């Protein structure tokens, strides 16, 4: 799917910390108007937004607009761009840059040496910058059954978890759908991710529950959030189908989902990861923030 190819390209670029920027990108004047900050947000949700979805907007401009909207952080930003976030008083709510890619992950021992090297370098950098979460991926099955994938992930991740614990960094594995966007990805159901979290038995390994992806692969979003919330450190949003705006054009009702998340006592970030279809992308982002501000 085109949107996922875009994400992979953007993530590959941002591993070096540099976002993909469209040369013709401009922020619409109305997106910086006073109505973006009125009425004030309720303060119950820590709002974030994924950088790659707004890669056509220079990062500094996205940060300025995000601050006006009440967004506290930017997701999926690498070390080279952390100074831009700091200059605007924004958190890096989900750091990236240690992963190889989305398909070569911890479930395959052939990638362990490179992953251990990458994460051993990145974990202290995340901590030194004052950040908390660092993303990771299971990788594709490539014929491995669930049990084999679990055992391989445990074996590899146990090599870096002591370092994460020492630096108070949380490794966060993202749940992705394998039905539409990420064919063959192994961590494609919440139960599998929760089992991995149980086996690792560390507060420094958790899950990124992507609402869009899990609606596609398993549904029962609110029920699964209620069941598995102890294992979840972070949430991503997007509309289903299509991964676009989270408004009335799609099938999920985000106000109820966010209220269910808050009812679990969740204090982390909820990050917008939709690809805006509307011409004024920042107004779409502002609307999504308001929808999720419960």
Whether residue 39 is preceded by a cis peptide bond, meaning omega within 30 degrees of 0, is yes
pLDDT over 80 at 10, yes or no: no
Q: What is the pLDDT of residue 16?
A: 39
Amino acid 39: pLDDT: 76
Question: Residues 6 or more apart from 79 whose CB is under 8 A from it?
Answer: 17, 95, 97, 122, 125, 129
Q: What are the pLDDT digits (tens) for 218-272?
A: 999 999 999 999 999 999 999 999 999 999 999 999 999 999 999 999 999 999 9
The DSSP symbol for 131 reads -
pLDDT, position 37: 58
The DSSP line for 140-158 is B-TT--HHHHHHHHHHHHT
- Could you tell me what percent of the chain has a pLDDT over 90? 86
Spatial separation of the C-alpha atoms in residues 144 and 190, rounded to whole Å? 18
* Mean pLDDT computed over every residue of the chain: 91
pLDDT of 24: 34
Q: How confident is the model at residue 34 (pLDDT cuts 50, 70, 90)?
A: low
Query: Per residue in 50-63, pLDDT tens?
Result: 999 999 999 999 99
Q: Model pTM?
A: 0.89
pLDDT at position 5 over 60:
no
Show me where the domains of the chain are located: 2-292
Count H helices, E strands: the chain? 11, 8
What number is the average pLDDT over the span 75-86?
97
Tell whether the model's pLDDT for residue 27 goes beyond 70: no
Q: Is the pLDDT of residue 20 over 70?
A: no
CA 107 to chain centre: 20
242: exposed, middle or buried (Cβ count in 10 Å: 0-12, 13-18, 19+): middle
> What pLDDT score does 174 carry?
98
Cβ atoms 227, 263 nearer than 8 A: no
Return the CATH class of domain 2-292.
alpha beta
Question: pLDDT tens across 163-211, in order?
Answer: 999 999 999 999 999 999 999 999 999 999 999 999 999 999 999 999 9
């Amino acid at each position: 799917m085109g949107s996922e190819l875009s994400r992979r390209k953007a993530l590959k670029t941002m591993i070096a910390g540099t976002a993909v920027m469209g040369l013709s990108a401009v922020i619409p004047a109305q997106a910086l108007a006073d109505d973006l900050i009125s009425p004030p947000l309720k303060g119950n949700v820590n709002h974030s937004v994924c950088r790659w979805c707004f890669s056509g907007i220079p990062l500094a401009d996205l940060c300025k607009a995000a601050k006006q909207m009440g967004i506290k952080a930017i997701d999926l930003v690498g070390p080279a761009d952390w100074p831009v976030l700091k200059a605007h008083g924004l958190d890096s709510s989900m750091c990236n840059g240690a992963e190889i890619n989305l398909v070569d992950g911890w479930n395959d021992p052939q990638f362990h040496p490179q992953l251990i090297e990458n994460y051993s370098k990145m974990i202290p950098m995340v901590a030194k910058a004052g950040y908390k979460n660092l993303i990771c991926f299971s990788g594709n099955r490539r014929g491995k059954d669930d049990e084999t994938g679990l055992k391989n992930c445990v074996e590899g991740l146990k090599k870096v978890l002591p370092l994460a614990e020492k630096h108070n960094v949380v490794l966060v594995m993202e749940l992705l759908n394998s039905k539409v966007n990420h064919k063959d990805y192994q961590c494609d159901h919440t139960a599998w991710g929760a089992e991995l979290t149980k086996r690792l038995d560390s507060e420094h390994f958790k899950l990124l529950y992507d609402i869009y992806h899990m609606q596609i692969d398993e549904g029962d979003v609110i029920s699964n959030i209620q069941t598995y919330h102890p294992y979840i450190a972070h949430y991503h949003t997007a509309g289903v189908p299509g991964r676009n705006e989270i408004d009335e054009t799609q099938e999920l009702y985000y106000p109820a989902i966010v209220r269910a998340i808050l009812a679990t006592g969740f204090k982390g970030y909820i990050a917008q990861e939709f690809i805006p279809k509307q011409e004024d992308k920042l107004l779409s982002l502002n609307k999504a923030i308001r929808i999720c501000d419960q």
